[in-house]
Amino acid sequence: MPVITNIDDLKALYRRRTPKMFYDYCESGSWTEQTFRENSSDFDDIYLRQRVAVDMSNRSTATQMIGQDVAMPVALAPVGLTGMQHADGEIKAARAAEAFGVPFTLSTMSINSIEDVAAATTKPFWFQLYTMKDQGFVSSLIQRAKDANCSALVITLDLQVLGQRHKDIKNGLSAPPKPTLANMINLATKWRWGMGMMKASRREFGNIVGHVEGVSDAADLGAWTAEQFDPTLDWNKVAKIKEEWGGKVILKGIIDPEDAKMALEVGADAIVVSNHGGRQLDGALSSIRALPGIMDAVGDATEVHLDSGIRSGQDVLKAVAMGAKGTYIGRAFVYGLGAMGQEGVTRALDVIHREMDVSMALCGRRRIDEVDRDILLVPEGFEGRWQ
Ligand code: GLV
């Protein structure tokens, strides 16, 4: 067993063990992948201020996100097709998150269903909603999430149409994979994945298949979004969904201060500064570069979270120091899952926790509520002076 010391170690193992089409699905951005790359590389432009001779005993990374206790300000992001990265992937990731004490967010486009995850866990998880043209289906998803005792609804606002990821088209991405020659050759080298999948409780989109009719190809994410996702979603509809849900609402996919203000108006409990991991609008600002402008626009009026680009505890620390109350990891936990199942997700969380805890200490802070802008060295004009 290789020694795992960082998220990249998990990624290397994940790449070896997972079919190419699912690795590529995870590791892609849209079009030129500029935003995908900058989401991570922009973190490198920010430096941490080392402080010395400060009492570093009795540290804690515990805090709250939307009023819920978390062991560190990191949640698992909703990731479509997680159950294709590893058999029963959503169940395994949710269990790892629960044991660690961080929120798990189930994607609408998951393989394990809302009910599967609820049956396999003991604490409430969060449900991410894509809005579909079929209002009845959206209402039934909301009701299913309520019945499963989900403690937040995460409404994704930035995927009414799908950004093009070239590799998904070239690979013929589907869940489950179609038995083409190229797939069979690749799958033959992924015996561990295949053995797991033979025993998996599901191999199709569990929230959808059997719950909705009239889709030409329920295995094809691209076809699904084109046919089913609601291109008319607007702030009025967001407000209606919030009312129908009646619980905590997190609005995900905000990268512009004007949209952050609109989210405030509809009464979001939190917003997620996110460009969908660079998978939607290629050429959009990275999330970390967008964060300061959004903090200025909304202040403390709502909780601001951040996803896209986080691969280390240092990244989490930087986002929190810039004002985010919480962050999300998507790819970083999928690497762990594909590498070694539930144990791998736990390893990913452990790696990030340790990196954050030690880096926080080396910045002279012992608790999350002591982490502030003062621990950062941010280059002048980092957030940009755009015209
Ligand atoms: C879906 O959320 C995707 O980014 O593929």
Q: Is there an atom of ligand 1 within 6 Å of 80 CB?
A: yes
What's the gap in Å between 58 CA and the centre of ligand 1? 40
Q: Which atom of ligand 1 approaches the CA of 279 most closely?
A: 4
Which residue has the CA at smallest separation from atom 4 of ligand 1? 279
What's the pLDDT score for residue 211? 83
What's the gap in Å between 221 CA and the centre of ligand 1? 8
Percent of the chain scoring above 70 in pLDDT: 98
What's the gap in Å between 329 CA and the centre of ligand 1? 14
Question: 97-155, pLDDT tens digit by residue?
Answer: 999 999 999 999 999 999 999 999 999 999 999 998 889 999 999 999 999 999 999 99
Residue with tokens 């790819």: 331
Say whether 41 counts as a known binding-site residue.
no
What's the pLDDT score for residue 135? 92
Question: 21-55, pLDDT tens digit by residue?
Answer: 999 999 999 999 999 999 999 999 999 999 999 99
Percent of the chain scoring above 90 in pLDDT: 90
Say whether 308 counts as a known binding-site residue.
yes
What's the pLDDT score for residue 313? 98
Going by C-alpha positions, the residue among 146, 153, 75 that lies closest to residue 108 is 153
Question: 200-226, pLDDT tens digit by residue?
Answer: 999 988 998 888 776 656 677 777 777
Say whether 73 counts as a known binding-site residue.
no
Question: Can you tell me the distance from the alpha carbon of 293 to that of 144, in angstroms, rounded to the nearest whole number?
Answer: 36
Say whether 107 counts as a known binding-site residue.
yes
Q: Would you give the distance in Å from CA 160 to the centre of its chain?
A: 17
Q: What phi and psi values does residue 318 have, to the nearest 5 degrees?
A: -65, -45
What's the pLDDT score for residue 271? 98
Residue 386 lies in a domain: no
What's the pLDDT score for residue 218? 67
Does residue 384 carry a pLDDT above 90?
no
What's the gap in Å between 195 CA and the centre of ligand 1? 26
Q: Give 355 or 209, the one with higher predicted confidence.
A: 355
Are 163 and 30 in contact by the 8 Å Cβ rule? The answer is: yes
Does residue 347 carry a pLDDT above 70?
yes
Phi-psi region of 196 (alpha: psi -120 to 50; beta: other; left: phi over 0): alpha
Does residue 1 carry a pLDDT above 80?
no
Average pLDDT score over residue span 90-96: 98
Structure token digits, residue 89: 């992937």
Are 192 and 344 in contact by the 8 Å Cβ rule? The answer is: no
Residue 163 lies in a domain: yes
Q: Is there an atom of ligand 1 within 6 Å of 278 CB?
A: no
Q: Is there an atom of ligand 1 within 6 Å of 331 CB?
A: no
Mean pLDDT across the chain? 95
What's the pLDDT score for residue 212? 77
Between helix 331-362 and helix 7-17 the angle, nearest 10°, is 170
- Angle at 156 (CA atoms; ends 119, 351), nearest 5 degrees: 65
What's the pLDDT score for residue 137? 92
Going by C-alpha positions, the residue among 1, 6, 39 that lies closest to residue 332 is 6
What's the pLDDT score for residue 213? 72
Q: Which atom of ligand 1 approaches the CA of 130 most closely?
A: 2
Residue 2 lies in a domain: no
> Whole-angstrom distance between the N-terminal and C-terminal Cα of the chain?
52
Q: Which atom of ligand 1 approaches the CA of 276 most closely?
A: 4
What's the pLDDT score for residue 217? 66
Q: Facing residues of 367 across strands?
A: 60
Residue 232 lies in a domain: yes
- Enclosing domain of residue 280: 7-377
Structure token digits, residue 218: 């329920």
Residue 382 lies in a domain: no
Does residue 253 carry a pLDDT above 70?
yes
Residue 385 lies in a domain: no
Residues catalogued as catalytic: 276
What's the pLDDT score for residue 286? 98
Q: Is there an atom of ligand 1 within 6 Å of 276 CB?
A: yes
Residue 148 lies in a domain: yes
What's the gap in Å between 125 CA and the centre of ligand 1? 19
Residue with tokens 């009701």: 143
Question: 262-291, pLDDT tens digit by residue?
Answer: 999 999 999 999 999 999 999 999 999 999
**CATH code of the domain covering residue 214:** 3.20.20.70
Which residue has the CA at smallest separation from atom 5 of ligand 1? 80
Report how many domains make up the chain. 1
